[in-house]
Amino acid sequence: MDVATFLALVITTIHAVKVEVGLLGSFTCSLNNDPVTLELWEWDPLEDDNLSSKTVSVGEKFYLSGVEDEWFYIQPYIIIRHRCNFCGDMNTFTFLALVITTAYGLVIKVKVNGTFHCSYNKNATIQLWDWDLIGDDKLASMDVAAGQSFHLVGEEDEWIYIQPYIIIKHRCNPCDKDTVIRQRLSDLYADHTFDFGVINLDNLESSRCLKWF
Cα dihedral angle (85, 91, 96, 101), rounded to 10 degrees?
80
Of 128 and 147, the structure prediction assigns the larger pLDDT to 128
Please give the domain boundaries of the chain with CATH numbers for all domains.
5-98 (2.60.40), 106-200 (2.60.40.3330)
**pLDDT above 70 coverage of the chain, percent:** 70
* Position 152 pLDDT exceeds 90: yes
Higher model confidence: residue 36 or residue 113? 113
Q: How far is CA 127 from the centre of its chain?
A: 20
Name the pLDDT band for 150 (thresholds 50, 70, 90): very high
Question: How far is it, in rounded angstroms, from Cα 197 to Cα 115?
Answer: 6
More confident residue, 125 or 8: 125
Q: Which residues are CB-contacts of 116 (< 8 A; sequence separation ≥ 6)?
A: 124, 144, 145, 146, 147, 148, 150, 168, 170, 198, 199, 201
pLDDT at position 102: 44
- Beta-strand ranges (E) seen in 159-209 are 164-172, 177-184, 192-200
Q: In percent, how much of the chain has pLDDT > 90?
A: 13
Residue 106 has pLDDT above 80, yes or no: no
Tell me how far apart the alpha carbons of residues 40 and 63 are, in angstroms, rounded to a whole number: 11
| Average pLDDT over the chain, rounded to an integer | 74
Looking at 36-40, 56-60, 139-143, 193-197, which range is the least confident one?
56-60
Enumerate the H helices of the chain as residue ranges.
3-10, 201-204
**H or E element, residue 75:** none
Q: Does the pLDDT at position 169 exceed 90? A: no
Backbone angles phi, psi at 71, to 5 degrees: -70, -50
Q: Residue 97: its pLDDT value, please? A: 46
